Each structure stands twice: as C-alpha cells, then as structure tokens.
Chain A
Amino acid sequence: MSVRVQSAPFDVGAELQGFAQGLPGVGAQVSFTGIVRDDTGTLRHMLIEHYPGMTEKAIAAIEAEAVARWHLLDSLVIHRYGPLKPAEQIMMVATAAPHRADAFAAAEFLMDYLKSRAPFWKQEVTDQGAEWVAARDADEDALRRW
C-alpha cells in the first residue's frame, strides 16, 4: 500500500510497470487516472490545495479501509497539488487483487472516498478570475453505496 502526494507529474506507464510486480497471487490489476477537464474551453489552470500531513493520513486510512473490505494484495494512490493545466494528470489509483471484482470495487471505493474525505480543494482559474469548485451532493451520495 502506498500513498504519494506531490506537485510533480507522474508517468502512469512507469508506475503501473512497477506496481505489484512479482507479488504472488495477483490475478487482476485495475487503474484509474484523473485528468484536468476543461468544460468551457476557458480554463487556464486548476489549482489544487491540500492539507499537508492530514492528506497522507486520510488517504492511508481510506486505503486501510479498502484492505479490510476486499481481498487486496496492493494499492497505490498518487495525488498532485499546485497549478495543473487542462489535460494534465491530477491523480491515479491502482489496485491489485487475486480477482477482478475486488480490484474494480476497491478502486471505485478509493476514488469515491478520495473525492470527499481527503483534504484537497480545487480552484478553477480562468480569464474571468478564480473560483473554488463546490462539492457536489452526488459525490457525498456516492459514499452511501459502500
């Protein structure tokens, strides 16, 4: 299980190459990559703020919960902060399990919880100014299915 919170870009291919490498019993690996989306064509950058210290602890707690619920052999969470341009990678999650059902479910669980329980805040910066992204009720509702 590992957590990295960083401003630097990451290489998904290289990360997956090294992930769960040679772990006995791995039969499925799932990964998700979040990308900065520009819905209106006016986004200069997305600024991601976080709470150093709490962020790493919160993500580790979410990973521990995933391990308790599913048969997971390994997991990886990388989340960036700072100003990110449209189409840049924001974050990635990877899970490894003996079977795909556990790998898929745990990856979705990690994503749902990262969205509303890890201390990150997004601000959209356009030519018109800067605006904090409001949390969506749908993201909170998503937690109830687990």
Chain B
Amino acid sequence: MNVMYFAWVRERIGLPQEQVETKAATVADLVAELKAREPRYAAAFADTSALRVALDQELSSFDAPLKGVREVAFFPPMTGG
C-alpha cells in the first residue's frame, strides 16, 4: 500500500510517501511495524495521540482495519482556514 506523511511527520521520517508491503490488520499494527524499522519512524510515531490518520483519503482511527485499503496517510492535527 501507499503510505504518505505530511507536515512534521514527513520531516521526521524524511520522505513524503513510500510503498509498504504489510500484512498488518489495523492501522495500529502498521504503526508498530513502522516503529520497529528505524529510530526516525519510532520518533515520528512516539505519541500517536498527536497524530491523525486517513485511509483512502477519509479521516479514520488507529484501531481501523486495513483490509482493502490502498492509501494510508499520517499527519498532525490539521491547521487550515
């Protein structure tokens, strides 16, 4: 699946998006896999309460299932307007 990062999450991880091969059942499982990869991922995902997640461009939650999802995006709370 395509995993995207925005704002300071993108800066901490050091890339805007990447293809990830995963069998993670939920967003939280995917986050655990990413955190185990490298310290920069662990730093970006240290506090998921400070993060938001979108699945296929719809706001979702960390306990949501990933089955059928093609695009996951992680970002801080939005500051538009």
Contacts and interface: CB of A to CB of B under 8 A. Distances in A.
Q: Do A and B share a complex?
A: yes
A57 B56 CA distance: 11
B78 A116 contact: yes
Interface residues on A, range: 20 to 34
Nearest to A93: B81
A122 B75 CA distance: 12
Contacts of A118: 78, 80-81
A101 interface: no
Interface residues on B, range: 10 to 19
Interface string A33-59: 010000000000000011101100110
A51 B55 CA distance: 12
B77 A116 contact: yes
Given A53-B57, A54-B57, A121-B7, A114 B73 contact: no
A19 interface: no
Nearest to B8: A132
B80 A51 contact: no
A119 interface: yes
A92 to B, nearest CB: 11
Contact of A119 (B8, B75, B81): B75
Interface string B61-81: 000000000000101111111
Q: Which of B7, B58, B77, B80 has the most CB of A within 10 A?
A: B80
Contacts of A50: 80
B57 A120 contact: no
A91 B81 CA distance: 7
Interface of A: 34, 49-51, 53-54, 57-58, 79, 90-91, 111, 114-123, 132-135, 139-140
